[in-house]
Amino acid sequence: MGAPRIRTHDVALGSGHGEVQAYVVEPADGPIRAGALFLHWLGDHRSDRTQFLSEARGLARLGIRGVLPGGRLPWGPDPVDADTDVENLEVEQRRLGTALDRLVDGLPKGVPLALVGHDFGAMHGLLLAARREAFKAVVVIAATPRWGDWFLRFWKIEGDRFDYLRRLQPYDPVETARALRAPTLWQFSERDYFIAPMSAIELARASSDVPAIEWYKADHAMRSSRARAAREAFLRRELGLG
């Protein structure tokens, strides 16, 4: 018997500013046993919805449907000021809600869902998980506690710095992580130039007194076969796939 067949669809979901280009990866034969939403990073390679494509295809052979949407903020538009950025954070939540709706479309009630996010994808994902208690398992990879950690450092932001931080505070991952109820795997690098270990610990501990933090000898890109294997093992266990 050969390996299970999978299907990969390149789709457009929604319309206007809320339109989402996404890949949908799923088993071609047999039942869909679980679903996973994959949210990519902003970086120097695969800085788009292809980042987790290979991983999603491997998981599809286990019976997992994956939806991999393209990100919008800050891939385009850039962060600019508090009011605009809050509006764009809300736009991104609507877009991710559309992707989540596609993930569950046609699935029987009770099929377990997971969220996997890296960098900005993880930060948007934590807000989605706080608002939509749909996920049975969450994987957070190399995220920072606050949007201002990135936006104020790498973009020209108009207005007072402290007013900006206060305005975005309700959207900060360190705030939204408090609402997590699903088992969460936190993956960070020991050699991340951008995220200090104490920042990683601050974020993970916002969700739990004893969070499941794993450290890897990688950089912010987290190109680690060990990290990928740990994600698969975690998802197998938490989604009940054996």
| Mean pLDDT of the region 185-189 | 98
pLDDT on residue 42: 98
Number of domains in the chain: 1
Residue 61 — very low, low, confident or very high, per pLDDT cuts 50/70/90? very high
Query: What is the SS3 assignment for 229?
Result: helix
Q: What is the rounded distance in angstroms from the CA atom of residue 85 to the CA atom of residue 110?
A: 35
CATH code at position 153: 3.40.50.1820
**Contact yes or no for 189/223 (Cβ under 8 A):** no
Residue 192 belongs to a domain = yes
pLDDT at 59 over 80: yes
**Is there a contact between 144 and 195 (Cβ–Cβ < 8 Å)?**
yes
Question: Could you tell me if residue 242 is inside a domain?
Answer: no
Enter the tokens of residue 40.
């990519």
DSSP 8-state assignment for residue 4: P
Pick from 72, 51, 2, 57: nearest CA to 24 = 57
Distance separating alpha carbons of residues 59 and 61, to the nearest angstrom: 5
| C-alpha to C-alpha distance for 37 and 85, rounded to whole angstroms | 23
- pLDDT tens, position by position, 94-127: 999 999 999 999 999 999 999 999 999 999 999 9
- Residue 203 located in a structural domain: yes
Q: Is residue 209 very low, low, confident or very high in pLDDT (cuts 50, 70, 90)?
A: confident
Is residue 47 one of the residues assigned to a domain?
yes
> Which pLDDT tens digit goes with each residue over 218-241?
999 999 999 999 999 999 999 999
pLDDT confidence band for 186 (50 / 70 / 90):
very high
Is residue 106 helix, strand or coil?
Answer: coil
CA distance 116 to 89: 18
Q: Using one digit for the tens of pLDDT, what is the confidence trace for 168-179?
A: 999 999 999 999
Long-range contacts of 196-203 (CB under 8 A, 24+ apart): 199/144, 199/145, 199/149, 202/145, 202/174, 203/140, 203/143, 203/144, 203/145, 203/173, 203/174, 203/177
Residue 1 lies in a domain: no
Least confident of 14-23, 138-147, 155-164, 185-194: 14-23
Share of the chain above pLDDT 90, in %: 93
Domain presence at residue 86: yes
CA atoms of 22 and 11, how far apart (whole Å): 5
Tell me the residue range of the domain where 52 lies.
6-234
CB-facing half-sphere around the CA of 202: CA atoms within 13 A: 13
In a domain, 239, yes or no: no
Q: Is residue 93 part of a domain?
A: yes
Place of tokens 């996920």: 135
pLDDT of residue 30: 83
Q: pLDDT tens across 1-46, in order?
A: 567 899 999 999 987 777 899 999 999 988 999 999 999 999 999 9
